Amino acid sequence: DNKMQATRHRGVLLATAPYTLNGPTRRAMHNKALPRALVTTSSHCTSAGCIGSIIARRTFFKPSSSVVGATPRHVARCLPSSTTVVATDASIHSRTVLEAGGSRSFSGTAHSSAAAAAANTAVFKNSSERRGEFREKLTLKVGDKVHGYVVKDVTPIPERHFMTYHLQHEKTGAEHFHIDCSDTNNVFSVTFKTIPKDSTGVAHILEHTALCGSKKYPVRDPFFNMLRRSINTYLNAYTASDHTSYPFSTQNVKDYRNLLSVYLDATFFPLLQRDDFLQEGHRLEFEVMEDKNSPLKYKGVVFNEMKGAMSDQGALFSQALETALYPTTTYTHNSGGDPVNIPDLTYDGLVKFHQQHYHPSNSRFYTYGDMSLLSHLEKINETLDQFTYQRPHTDIPDEQRFTEAKHVSATCPPTIGSDPSRPTKFAISWLTHRNSDPFESMAMSLLSKLLLDGPNAPMYAALIDSNMALDFAPATGYHHGAREAPFTFGVSGIAPENVKKVEDTIMQVLTKVSEEGFPEERINGILHQTELSLKHRTTNFGMAVSSGLNYAWIHGAVPVERLKIDKLIKRLREELKNGPLFQNLIKKYLLNNQHRVYITMNPDEQYVQKLDEAETSKLQQIQSSLGQDEIGKIIDQAQVLKQRQESVQDVSVLPTIAIDDISPEAPGKDTVLEERTVSGSGNISVPLLAVPQPTNGLTYVKTLFNLNSLPEHLQSYVPLFAMFLTNMGAGKWDFRQLAQELESNTGGIDASVFINWDPQDAGQHSVGLLLSGSCLDAKLEQMFDIMEKIATEPHFEDAERIKSLISQKTSDMQDSLVHSGHSYALSKAGADFSKAHELANTWGGMPQLALLQELSLKSPEELAPELIPKLQEIAKHVLVASRARCKIVAESSTLPLAQQRLQNFFQKLPSPTSEDPWFKPTQFAPLSETRESSIPLPAAVNFAVKTSPGVHYTHADAPKLKVLSSLLGNMYLHPEIREKGGAYGSGALSGSDGLVSFYSYRDPTPLRSLQIYRDSLQWLEPRIIGASGPAAADPDSSRLSSISDRDIEEAKFKIFSSLDAPVAPSSKGSSVFLRGITYDMKQQFRTGILATGRKDLLDVAQRYLGDSNTKSSVVVMGNTTFPTTT
């Protein structure tokens, strides 16, 4: 747990372990190439059209405290896509270990009654409803009327053990789609079709302001307050190109009803106050608030958010492409808002947009899970019954089709350290078909995978493997996220003179494939992956389905048809037998389709400077024309807004859970983890953690190899080794053949690197290489055969392939800088405190990017002697049975066979004598003085970080620091940095790596934020003491907003939202295996959180936050530098 995550909406960024790396075997190259600011698809969403596709629509997200592990990836315009570097304690201290794995929550597939009974954990406390498999089954049939609704359709989905219900509200026409299943992680969303007619960001700003107070809940910010008063597993809102959605999920019935009440009132009866529009959208304000002679500035949360978003090369490329491809419909506009146009939006325009779009007749409701549909309908009807039918005027017409192709060009900011000879992005994009046909959407998605995904894909081979381009460009692939779907082939990192060559190559590949088709084994491999995705159980499946359905449902598609995957695949197989299905699609929608756009993008060194100069010039003109009355209004408006932001609000009107609703017992007590051993070569014993789980016929294997004694001269190259290990070929297979074996027989075999701090001593850490694989039980033999070849006969000799993979990884990491700047800044700050943190930064921070950029400029002939010997030396040192331990998650009936195959695997590995300890000294070195560092970034945003020493997981202060971090985020950082400062997000972190950190995200005033971090103790002390001490008698004490017991409880709720989040069967046992955290440790941590009081908070704040006690490392990444001193 504790992954570095960042959401894209309403600004809370969750982060504790910023060290993220990846070495995937099966890389969906077009998915990987998307910038983090674009929508990517959940690998386990199986609604038609999502299979193998990306929905590259512009989607703007609110952050939530529970986004970790819960974000529906195919609607989240957000997160860094990588593997968190956390590792593990080697020892499991008892033969049978119980580990807290969260409440059992599966993606709708039936599981045993015993498993369902085990699901009744902390989240169900005080609930009288029967849950999971024991829930009360619905008996509704078509034509039934209930709570103002009429049932239009009832359809079972046997492959998922779902029963679906499609209803319509009689009075307003609002549609409701419900999936009844045993999943205890219940979902709600209400979605409105929103059709902006310009790029002022009206839909995006409305999404922000709608959650800033409503008729029933007239408080300043119900959304962020409910984050604190809830134990949700997901709480957010997002704006896509043609719709706005408000989703949440939770396992707790009371919490569900609370959130439902708030979201219904927020969307249909928002206050939409002008001050909220000014705060969230845009406003004019003097740099020094009351000094009319200081420069005039634009401020606003969305304004600053979009300045950051539109500094990203990928976002700019995709926006330019979309604008050109859809010149006459809503998709031509930037639904998030272009910073150049956002100041044109008026408050009256915002209110009018709400009146036109946020009406029940223009809405779609979705519910999912094991809670009562009838209860949901009754509550929703109380709101909808206050409306009558209103014909929506939100239809989107067909795009006017081109008679000839269009050529466009665009510019973007440069990328630090990129190859100056290959700066260009290029793409050809076609407008294809309406997204209403689920079969055609699925077929096109599979065609996209066949053409682009992995080294056997013809586009990959022709464009990337040939070194013509370094990587695929953003938005590459088929995307069903618009009414008429685009299909794009694009590349990054090409020489400007090679644009025509790339263009010709794309067309030649399409022509060849349209004539010859695809090998049967590739088609079968793709279908095998579909079968795996149907069986794989996730904890956020209901959320992924919600967002996946919205894109077609809002345009009239029947939602249940997109869930009938078995039926669609059966038809697909029949169509393939009857004729050249994919070849015909290529001819119809690509080769013979003139509605296409050719786009070329090149960096402009002055890009950001030009935008800044244009904005400054515009503001100077405005300022020079202001009269005294207008100046007075700007100053008065700023003062009023500041007073409002600082005022103490009564949030007691908001519904909440109580601390008594939280079970004192950590979830997962009954999760059985069996400590076993398997025999490796040389009669060594390899520790095995066996985890019997209802996995629906899948087996998951993880093997961790100890890296602690790896020679220092090899350490920087371990992330590259992880990437090469599963992407270069093995045994008798070259890299293309290996990719096909993996696709046909496994769910992937991946290698990644990990760093973990001993939960009982932050002065000890371990590093490891993790080899992970999954497969259908019927494919166990094949998966272990492949894994054996990878571990014993890896190929590292193909210098051309090495060059290609380095180029792709470099491009990927460069593309992440603008979106994930906080991660890089946190990594850099942590590196100042210990050798272990320095290594983590070397692996996942700017030093790794610098190494990649250096290597990417070398030829294959230069790379071979530099890298191949190092890779071979690492393999010889690491891939040995005596440095391994492993975990298997499988059905009880499958575990014996899986264990035997694992033993066979280890008997093939060498077993040199190894007494390497699993932990070694971290070498903490407290700073003697505060250290300041800057990371320049050519973007219109900044990220500010302050880091200081903390404690390990089982330390008595760890739960107290966790509560303190949550409290500071809620009560101090959010109002100061987001509301007043206009940053997109901020937070405080206390991780098990022995550090405490503050951070901001997309921050226009990072130096101010650093001062706010420094003042945190000064802010906290009088509010803790003042609640019960002498300060309470001070007549001005109300301005201190003293911290109440309720505030402390709310800080705890945010933590329990994460601690009690559902855990998929495949992840059971991970805390023990990867982090050495046992159930008893989790229980101790939980007890510590519940017991934390105000004196504890004051005590740890004084000991860990004061610079007089500990010196900090501060880092600013962006276009701001520290002032020089003389």
Q: Which residues are catalytic?
A: 207
- State how far the Cα of 339 lies from the Cα of 200, in Å rounded to an integer: 8
- Please answer whether residues 458 and 530 qualify as being in contact, where contact means their C-beta atoms are separated by less than 8 angstroms: no
How many other CB atoms are found less than 10 A from the CB of residue 352? 12
- Please answer whether residues 78 and 86 qualify as being in contact, where contact means their C-beta atoms are separated by less than 8 angstroms: no
How far is Cα of residue 626 from the mean position of the Cα atoms in its chain? 44
Three-state DSSP at 936 gives: strand
- State how far the Cα of 976 lies from the Cα of 978, in Å rounded to an integer: 6
Beta pairing, strands 283-286 & 296-299: antiparallel
Q: Residue 538 burial by CB count (10 A; 0-12/13-18/19+): exposed, middle or buried?
A: buried
Return the closest-CA partner of residue 774 out of 1074, 535, 526, 522. 535
Three-state DSSP at 933 gives: strand
- State how far the Cα of 1099 lies from the Cα of 24, in Å rounded to an integer: 44
Instruction: Please spell the DSSP secondary structure of 976-1014, one letter per residue.
Output: IIIIIT--SEEEEEE-TTSEEEEEEES-S-HHHHHHHHH
- State how far the Cα of 560 lies from the Cα of 654, in Å rounded to an integer: 35
Which amino acid would we find at residue 326? Y
The per-residue b/e assignment along 243-274, b for 16 or more CB within 10 angstroms, e otherwise, is bbbbbbbbbbbbbbbbbbbbbbbbbbbbbbbb
- Interacting residues of 203 by C-beta distance below 8 A, sequence separation 6+: 194, 196, 239, 244, 335, 353, 357
- State how far the Cα of 1023 lies from the Cα of 1012, in Å rounded to an integer: 16
- State how far the Cα of 922 lies from the Cα of 941, in Å rounded to an integer: 34
Token look-up 């696709």 returns: 743
Three-state DSSP at 376 gives: helix
- State how far the Cα of 24 lies from the Cα of 273, in Å rounded to an integer: 48
- State how far the Cα of 110 lies from the Cα of 108, in Å rounded to an integer: 6
Q: Residue 910 burial by CB count (10 A; 0-12/13-18/19+): exposed, middle or buried?
A: middle
How many other CB atoms are found less than 10 A from the CB of residue 736? 17
Q: DSSP character for 920?
A: E
- Please answer whether residues 55 and 73 qualify as being in contact, where contact means their C-beta atoms are separated by less than 8 angstroms: no
- Please answer whether residues 369 and 187 qualify as being in contact, where contact means their C-beta atoms are separated by less than 8 angstroms: yes
- Please answer whether residues 713 and 783 qualify as being in contact, where contact means their C-beta atoms are separated by less than 8 angstroms: no
Return the closest-CA partner of residue 522 out of 326, 736, 307. 736
Angle 112-115-120 (CA atoms, 0-180°, nearest 5)? 135
Both tokens assigned to 1118: 């962006």
Q: DSSP E strands: which ranges in 574-682?
A: 596-603, 672-679
- Please answer whether residues 484 and 398 qualify as being in contact, where contact means their C-beta atoms are separated by less than 8 angstroms: yes
Token look-up 């597939």 returns: 109
